[in-house]
Structure 1
Amino acid sequence: MSGVAQAQNSDVDAVRAAGPPVGAICSETAGTHACFEKSGDKFWVKDTKADGHYSAMLASWGPIFQGDMICRNKSGSDVGWMYCDFSSEIPEHSKVWFRADTMEGDGIVSSGGVVWSWSSD
C-alpha cells in the first residue's frame, strides 16, 4: 500500500522509512512510539517491543480528537520506523490530534497520551 490516505476514516498500512525528523512531536505507550511531522503531514510509527502485537497511530484534525485516521505498522519490532502520509486529507494550518496505540487485531492493548500540533505546508 502507498501509505497515502484518501478520505476521512482512513486506515492505511505504514511504509518503511528512516525515522521522524528531529523535533517531531511524539506520543508513546508500551510497545509503540508514534510521531507527527507537521511539514508534510506524515505520521511515524515504530513497534518497540517483540510481543506479537502491532503498533498504530490514531489521529484526527479539527477541534477535537476523534481517531478517524489510522496508520498501522504490522511489520514487527525489528523493522524500525514506518510512516503514513495524510497530506491529502489534512488542511494546512489545522489542529492535528494523535496518539500511539499498541493493538491486537482491532482491539487496543495500550494507548499513549493524546498530543496535538498545528499542521503546516
Structure 2
Amino acid sequence: MRFRIRHAAAVFTASVALLLTTTSSASAGADGGSVVDPTRGAAASFKQDGDVFWSYDTKADGHSAVTRVYVPSVGIAHNLWNPDGNGAARYKSYGTAIPEGTVVYYQACIGEYGTKELLSCTPGWGKAYA
C-alpha cells in the first residue's frame, strides 16, 4: 500500500510541478482543489467523500510537508504532518466529525517535524464544502 501512495504522490507531483500557488474553491458536496506551492515543496488537498485532507511532500529539501486544516464551525484546527520525504503523501479522514455542507479550509506548508515548527505556508487557503 505504501508503494501505491508513493506512486500516487509521484504522479500528483509531476502533474503540479509547473503550477504556481493556487487557491481553489468548490461547490457544496464536492472535492476541493489543490493548494500547491512548488517553491516550498508542499501541496494540500481535500476530498469530500470521508472528509479527507491530504498532505503531499513535493521537494527533497529536508523539510516536512504540512497541511493546515481549519474548520471553524466545528472547532477543528489541526496540522497534518507528512515527514515521509519527497514524493510521499499522508492523509487524515474526519469521517462524520464534519457535517455535510460545512466550509473547510486548508493550506500547504513546510515545517520541522521534530519541533513541530511551521516554517512557511502558502499565502492562500483552499476552500471546499464537506
Fold match (TM-score > 0.5): yes
Equivalent position to 1:69, from 51, 56, 78 = 78
Structure 1 unaligned runs (5+)?
1-15
Q: Give 2:126's aligned residue.
A: 115
Alpha carbons 1:32, 1:45 under 8 Å: kept? yes
Partners of 1:111 and 1:76 lie apart in 2 by 17
Partners of 1:67 and 1:34 lie apart in 2 by 16
Q: Give 2:99's aligned residue.
A: 91
Shift of 1:85: 0.9
Partners of 1:57 and 1:74 lie apart in 2 by 12
The amino acid across from 1:49 in the alignment is: K
Cα RMSD (Å) of the superposition?
2.5
- Partner of 1:68, secondary structure, is strand
Q: Give 1:7's aligned residue.
A: none
Structure number with the higher strand fraction is 1
Q: Give 2:62's aligned residue.
A: 52
Alpha carbons 2:32, 2:129 under 8 Å: kept? no
Q: Give 1:38's aligned residue.
A: 48
Deviations along 1:81-120, whole A, 9 cap, x unmatched? 221112242122101011011012322222012121111x
How many residues end up aligned between the 2 structures? Answer: 100
Structure 2 unaligned runs (5+)?
13-30
TM-score by length of 1: 0.69
The structure having more radius of gyration, on CA atoms, is: 2
Partners of 1:110 and 1:57 lie apart in 2 by 11
Partners of 1:89 and 1:24 lie apart in 2 by 18
Shift of 1:24: 4.2
TM-score by length of 2: 0.65
